[in-house]
Amino acid sequence: GDVGGALRLRGRGRAGGHGRDRPAHGGARLMPILQAEPFPLDLDLPALGLVVIDMQRDFMEAGGFGASLGNDVSLLRAIIPATARLIEGFRAAGLPVIHTRECHRPDLSDLPPAKRNRGNPSLRIGDEGPMGRILIAGEPGADIIPELYPLEGETVIDKPGKGAFHATAFGDVLKEKGLRQLVFAGVTTEVCVQTTMREANDRGYECILAVDATESYFPAFKQAAIEMIRAQGAIVGWTATTDQLREAIGV
Ligand code: C5J
């Protein structure tokens, strides 16, 4: 069903029907230790999933929303290889990958005027740009970049807000999948990634930020977000690298 009128959920469960009750691979431990900051974390593989936030052309390519705000998108493109390795690792381990896209309905009914009118961008949300209408569902710019495109069967959550829980079925999907621990990747670190991660933390999930698979248009903001997330004994969550995560999930 359509939750809050703003849900566009594609696919069900994960591709290929391999279950999370299956060992990650050939005898891998079900509760490996992730070498994370600020301290190691016991992973519960049957309850672990990857959330890839907003790796859309509108943020990652010239002519999109990010660029319309005056940002240099090349900074974000540097994380594409690490993010691809992280996604491939979760797929190889038989663990779920959930993708999100920040976008709005073509009639803008889920776009608050306060969001549309914010700032002084060269193009506003809903305006016609080189990749179609800016941040509008179904337009080329709002889709996920080809390098990280979801597989058939992977969940894609379209979200009208910065956080993935607001006006979507994201919370229900996490429960349906039996997840308890979430790895976060995507853009931008201090906006959509951090907003989603903080709410997931409040909802009882153990959250891990993949530091080399997330990026900001402002390097200082990324660094600050990483530090504030793991400060005070992992007050929002943990941080780890793609290599550390891949090793822990046995790929
Ligand atoms: C922004 C996002 N930065 N996906 N969106 O506007 O972080």
Q: How many angstroms is it from 195 CA to the middle of ligand 1?
A: 10
Can you tell me which atom of ligand 1 is nearest the CA of 193? Answer: 7
Q: What is the pLDDT of residue 12?
A: 36
Q: What is the pLDDT of residues 129-186, one digit of tens each?
A: 999 999 999 999 999 999 999 999 999 999 999 999 999 999 999 999 999 999 999 9
Can you tell me which atom of ligand 1 is nearest the CA of 102? Answer: 4
Residue 61 CB partners (closer than 8 Å, separation 6+): 67, 73, 131, 141, 145
**Whether pLDDT at 22 is above 60:** no
- Substitution candidate for ligand 1 out of 104, 166, 188 with most atoms within 8 A of CB: 188
- Substitution candidate for ligand 1 out of 57, 59, 124 with most atoms within 8 A of CB: 59
Q: Would you name the residues annotated as active-site residues?
A: 54, 159, 192
pTM, two decimal places? 0.89
* Structure tokens, 230: 């793991």
Phi, psi for residue 190 in degrees, rounded to 5: -90, -5
For residue 15, name the pLDDT band (cuts at 50, 70, 90).
very low
**Whether pLDDT at 17 is above 80:** no
